[in-house]
Structure 1
Amino acid sequence: MSQGDERGYGSEPGGRTEDPYSTIGGTRQTRTRLPGGDDTDGYGRRPARSSRSLVMVVGVVVLLVAAIAFANLGDGRSKEPGGGGGKESSAAGAGPTSATGTKPVQGKNGTIAAGFAHDEQGAQSAAANYAVALGSAEMFDKSQRDAILDAVIAPTSVERFRTTLDSAYSADFFANLGLNDDGTAPAGFTFISRTTPVGTKVTKQSAERTTVDVWCTGLIGLAGEGSTKPVTDGWFTITMELEWVEGDWKTVTHSQKEGPAPVGGDNRASSAEEIAGAVNGFGGFTYAR
């Protein structure tokens, strides 16, 4: 699930810039406007960044998703969402995202929810939970990344995803994020990468193949006094094609595009300590439609 200097995804077709890491499916960062006053915590009000600095931040946020999307090239299937030949769902765009009232799944695969229903709701729940897993900080650790991929990716696609992501999570990429060569945070810093779904909708559906859009907001960066890669937020929509296999929904393809993004509020930017404490102290959810 992101997002020349940060590791990047390239740019959207027809929109390539001289910086190859600017966008790919392009999650643009939402910037928080801060009140006047001195910067007393080293993480609050920050000097205005140059356009190149903004491009660097954008490239980081969308990086993971682009790598995943790239892994699907050459799989022999249609690149259109829902390429399994299913009909377009009559529910697509039919109304606002609202709860169905059905209880969340009870099963799990490691720390990831599993055992989703073989219907539209189950596919949406799976896509939301998988978006969280693929956009997590655990993806930066090889062993944890492998476990996540085994849990959420279809067996026929998992090796392709693994190969591409192993190459993408390189020492150079980690260095661009301010991380150590092994992807861990330097002493005194907390690395944060978290994706939070806001809503889901089915765009195409068949009995064995369903395409789901997941509207998300996300955080990424290093929290710590004097961090040069402070935690920033972004808004993006993930499109995930899911296949019903071995009694559950699994991801076959994954792509991302920018927005929809709201207007930034006037909230004061919290200190690095507050951000790290919030991310470490507030647990995630099992998402059900």
Structure 2
Amino acid sequence: MSIGDDGGYGDGRTGQTRTRLPDSESDTYGTPRRTRSTLSSRNLITVVGVVVLLIAAIAFANRGGSGNSETDTGSSGSTTDQAAAQPTAPTGTKPVTGKTGSIASGFPKTEQGAQSAAANYVVALSSSAMFNRDQRHQVVGTVMAPSAVETVQGKLDSLYSPQFFKNAGLKADGTAPAGMTFVYRTIPVGTKTTAFSASEATVEVWCTGLLGLAGEGSTRPVTTNWGTFTMKLTWTGDDWKTLSYTQKNGPAPVSGDVPASGAKEIAGAVAGYGGFTYAR
């Protein structure tokens, strides 16, 4: 699962709104919602192929990583802090107000800060901005630790090739075909710290997201998917930065029975609804 337009990280939109897509009548793109059993072989192969390619991007970028071992010293927070950070319960700490470009920054040197940083960095690293060279360099330079920037950036530049774009249904320069909107947006569902020390943290981010091409007659319709990122962070200067990140599919719930919306509604929602600054 490689997912989600960054809701502002790539195109400057940072609206703080909640997204609810309206139902609509079916059109060429948006036929009634299909279950896995009714997907055509062609579309199933296409969707799986794109997802595998995007997973490969992450795996490729982190191959032969920094070599930093995972630190597992447990939480240094108080009992009160730990109680506030239980699953589904927010810590109550206000979101950060700082940003670098369009990416949130200035996270506190705490477990809550590491989890918030990981969630926001996942959104940036799995977004449509990664398909544009200049925007990709900006994202990588902002969220990665200085020691990892050059290696990750070089490997991603090699991976995001004209052939890669073609396989994703895009033009050779990574842009969507005429009349189509490329949708690649991440929505974190929850975070969990698996290791924490004064200088390093490992955080898992469970996400859902949107992936595909919205447009009349699209052969790669926008679909939802689920995955979990593992982010290894290090405290650099006055903020958390990413040493490496990996991804796996799931956990994924059973799909609901909400009718699929039309192409125009999907494209309009992606363009009209901004993303969030995520806080634990």
> What TM-score do the two structures reach when normalised by structure 2?
0.83
- State the alpha-carbon separation in 1 of the partners of residues 91 and 56 from structure 2: 31
- State the alpha-carbon separation in 1 of the partners of residues 29 and 107 from structure 2: 44
Unmatched tracts of structure 1, length 5 or more: 4-37
Quick check: 1:97–1:200 contact (8 Å CA) kept in 2?
no
Alignment counterpart, residue 201 of structure 2, candidates 206, 210, 216: 210
Residue matched to 2:231: 240
Residue matched to 1:136: 127
Q: For 1:157, what is the secondary structure of its paired residue? A: helix
Residue matched to 2:64: 74
2:197 is matched by which residue type in structure 1?
Answer: S
Map 1:252-271 → 2, pairs under 5 A? 252-271=243-262
- State the alpha-carbon separation in 2 of the partners of residues 164 and 64 from structure 1: 14
1:2 aligns with 2:2: yes
CA deviation after TM superposition for structure 1 residue 71, in Å? 2.6
Alignment counterpart, residue 115 of structure 1, candidates 96, 106, 117: 106
CA deviation after TM superposition for structure 1 residue 178, in Å? 1.5
Map 1:187-202 → 2, pairs under 5 A? 187-202=178-193
Quick check: 2:70–2:202 contact (8 Å CA) kept in 1?
no
Quick check: 2:26–2:260 contact (8 Å CA) kept in 1?
no
CA deviation after TM superposition for structure 1 residue 65, in Å? 4.2
CA deviation after TM superposition for structure 1 residue 259, in Å? 0.8
- Runs (4 or more) in structure 1 with deviation over 6 Å come to none
Over residues 242-261 of structure 1, what are the superposed CA-to-partner deviations in whole Å (9 max), with x where a residue is unaligned?
Answer: 01012110111111111111
Over residues 71-126 of structure 1, what are the superposed CA-to-partner deviations in whole Å (9 max), with x where a residue is unaligned?
Answer: 33323525xxxx2434144869x842321111110110100000000010000000
2:132 is matched by which residue type in structure 1?
Answer: D
> What TM-score do the two structures reach when normalised by structure 1?
0.80
Over residues 122-162 of structure 1, what are the superposed CA-to-partner deviations in whole Å (9 max), with x where a residue is unaligned?
Answer: 00000000011011111110000000001100110011111
Q: Aligned-pair RMSD on alpha carbons?
A: 2.2
1:44 aligns with 2:35: no
Alignment counterpart, residue 156 of structure 1, candidates 130, 147, 161: 147
- State the alpha-carbon separation in 2 of the partners of residues 156 and 135 from structure 1: 21
Q: For 2:146, what is the secondary structure of its paired residue? A: coil
1:85 is matched by which residue type in structure 2?
Answer: T
1:263–1:282 distance in 2 versus 1, CA, 3 Å: same
The farther-off stretch of 61-70 and 259-268 is: 61-70
User: Of Structure 1 and Structure 2, which has the larger fraction of its residues in helix?
Assistant: 2
- State the alpha-carbon separation in 1 of the partners of residues 66 and 274 from structure 2: 39
- State the alpha-carbon separation in 2 of the partners of residues 251 and 227 from structure 1: 35
Unmatched tracts of structure 2, length 5 or more: 4-24, 77-81
The one of the two structures with greater contact order (alpha-carbon pairs below 8 A, sep at least 6) is: 2
Residue matched to 1:228: 219
Number of equivalences? 249
